[in-house]
Structure 1
Amino acid sequence: MLTIQALAKLSGVSTRTLRYYDEIGLLTPSAYSEAGYRLYTQREIDILQHILFYRALDVRLEEIKQIIYNDKFNVQQALQSHRTQLMHKQQQIQKLIKTLDTMLGGVNMSNTDKFEAFKSKKIKENEAQYGQEIRAKYGEKAVAEANQNFMGLSEEAYHKAQEIEQRLFLLLQQRGDQRSIANLHKEWLCYFMPQYSEDLHKGIVTGYLADDRFIKYYDTKAGEGATQYLVEAVCQ
């Protein structure tokens, strides 16, 4: 067993942070010494490694807790997912560095090239926030195709998708015509999903209600109850 000081030295995580992880139930020691000191086994060391992987991907602590203590949590799948997402992050950082180097070198860039790095950044953010769930629901191939489709968007298409989403928010805020809302959401979704189907569309929006992050996103943009109204519009 390791003391909290030994685990801090091994992992590079401060003892203060380890105590906080214990307080919130994210990383609880297996035992305590007679003097009341926290003691950690190999199990806690392995859990801490996963926590650090998810933190490197900017996943919130509460979400990490839900993931790693889920009965369906699979270590091998998690490790593969960590690797895939970190590779995406590495590629995104490399593209941003390349963009900056090009600009610092005084080379004129096309508008398409200017936006490529930032589209990569958007994919990275989505991976960090939703990657685990969407892979579980739709599979690695579907996610890869969606990312590829998004990266292939022209600057014009990228801005068009943003414009459609803003129109969607406005219509949701007004609790407007549900058919129009459903069509707008479909139009927006088709920019990112290469293979559209009505069943897939309904499945995606229904999933919004099971995830507080989506509810917060739409309700913040278009008012409380907007997510529910969107789901009703698509599934009517």
Structure 2
Amino acid sequence: MKELKNMQTISQVAKLTGISPRTLQYYDASGLLKPSGYTATGYRLYDTEALEKLQQILFFKELGFKLKEIQEFISQPDFDKIAAYKKQKELLLLKRNRINRLIQLLDRLEKGEQCMSFKEFDLSDYIQALENFKKSNSDLIIKYWGNVENFDRFVRKIKDDESEVAKLAIKYYGSIEKYTEAMTYNLEHFSEIMEKQFSGDTKKILRKSDDLYAKLTSDLSKDSSSDEIQQIVQEMDHFMHENAVDVSLDKPYWNVIINAYSSDYVKAITDSKYGAGASDYIVSAFKYYAENHSDGHS
């Protein structure tokens, strides 16, 4: 028989958790959560292990699982409570992000803005396609993103800025569905697309461009207006002039580039490739260069 010392009565557990004694009695009757022992007068008592189990149950309930499903989960012989905590945390974060987006949408509606339905801002299918791509294409991810961690940061950034990415997707593709369809196709044919795009002279140009951006962002602690950094930007300016087709690289063109690197979507890609804060650093360096060169080129 278990020690009654340090156990809590049903009323104490109810006060601690906000669960009514009647609900705890139902959990007992259904076999979901049995008490750890009883007082001499027959009152239910719960030890630390039982309270941990109750905590698991409440997390599952918060996520919308039915009691029957919860009982199946926690009664499995190989049930891993730590793994369950991790999964519950992941699901609750997704739920929180969804609620935050709903609140943002309500804020806009409250101000009288005409907004698309929330479903149109849902990139979950595209995000799932990215996760599926990661599982089966680790070699390509390492080749084009540097490592899996960079790809994970890229996906996480898309999740964090989902509404902004969705706006761009709708602007250029007409709908989230069409965007997801196009992006999924690109992921399914990623290798062949990259090989076609990155061949011959194009490959050399892109490699040189990557080298220049890597050089520019190699130390983000440096002053972006310093002579050293501005010389790199000037080198990039010359490089763009040499390889641009029918493009005038004046101040308006620099503003186009700056605006692009200021967008959340491009930020996600740039920061995942060159490090957190790289996009803001590039914007700062480009702004200084554009403002201090009358024609954006010297």
TM-score normalised per structure 1: 0.51
Q: Does the 8 Å CA contact 2:63/2:91 hold for their aligned counterparts?
A: yes
Provide Cα deviations, 1:167-220, integer angstroms capped at 9, x if missing partner: xxxxxxxxxxxxxxxxxxxx9xx97xx769xxxxxxxxxxxxxxxxxxxxxxxx
Q: Distance in 2 between matches of 1:101 and 1:64?
A: 35
3-state SS of paired residue (2:113): coil
Determine if the alignment matches structure 1 residue 115 to structure 2 residue 119: yes
Structure 2 counterpart SS, 1:28 = coil
- Bigger Cα Rg: 2
Aligned length: 145
1:158-173 counterparts in 2 under 5 A?
158=177
1:22/1:104 CA distance change after superposition, 3 Å? same
Q: Which of 27, 32, 38 is the aligned partner of 2:33?
A: 27
Q: 1 CA distance for matches of 2:106 and 2:177?
A: 21
> Which of 47, 53, 59 is the equivalent residue of 2:65?
59
Are 2:64 and 1:43 aligned?
A: no
8 A contact 2:59–2:88 mirrored in 1: yes
- Rounded to whole Å, the distance in 1 between the matches of 2:119 and 2:50 is 42
1:7 & 1:42 partners in 2: Cα distance? Answer: 11
Task: Give distance in 1, aligned partners of 2:93 and 2:54.
Answer: 21
Distance 2:22 2:188 in 1: 48
- Kept in 1, the 8 Å contact 2:8–2:45? The answer is yes
- The one-letter amino acid paired with 2:102 is L
Unaligned regions of 5+ residues in structure 2, if any? 1-6, 126-130, 136-151, 190-298
Residues 84-233 of structure 1 correspond to what in structure 2 (within 5 A)?
84-109=90-115, 111=116, 114-117=118-121, 119=122, 156=175, 158=177
CA-CA distance at 1:43 after TM superposition: 0.8
CA distance in 2, matches of 1:7, 1:74: 24
Report SS of the residue matched to 2:45: strand
Q: Percent of counterpart pairs with the same letter?
A: 34
User: 2:219 corresponds to which residue?
Assistant: none
Deviations 1:124-181 (A, max 9, x none): xxxxxxxxxxxxxx99x66x98xx89x778675649x9xxxxxxxxxxxxxxxxxxxx
Structure 1 position 108, deviation (Å) = 3.1
The Cα shift of 1:114 comes to 4.2
Cα offset for 1:91? 0.5
Q: What's 2:22 paired with?
A: 16
Q: Distance in 2 between matches of 1:98 and 1:35?
A: 54
Q: Deviations over 1:70-104 (max 9, x none)?
A: 11211111111111111111100010010111111
Letter matched to residue 99 of structure 1: L
| Alpha-carbon spacing, 1:106–1:56, altered in 2? closer, same or farther (3 Å) | same
Structure 1 counterpart of 2:10: 4
- Please report the RMSD computed on the Cα atoms of aligned residues, expressed in angstroms: 3.6
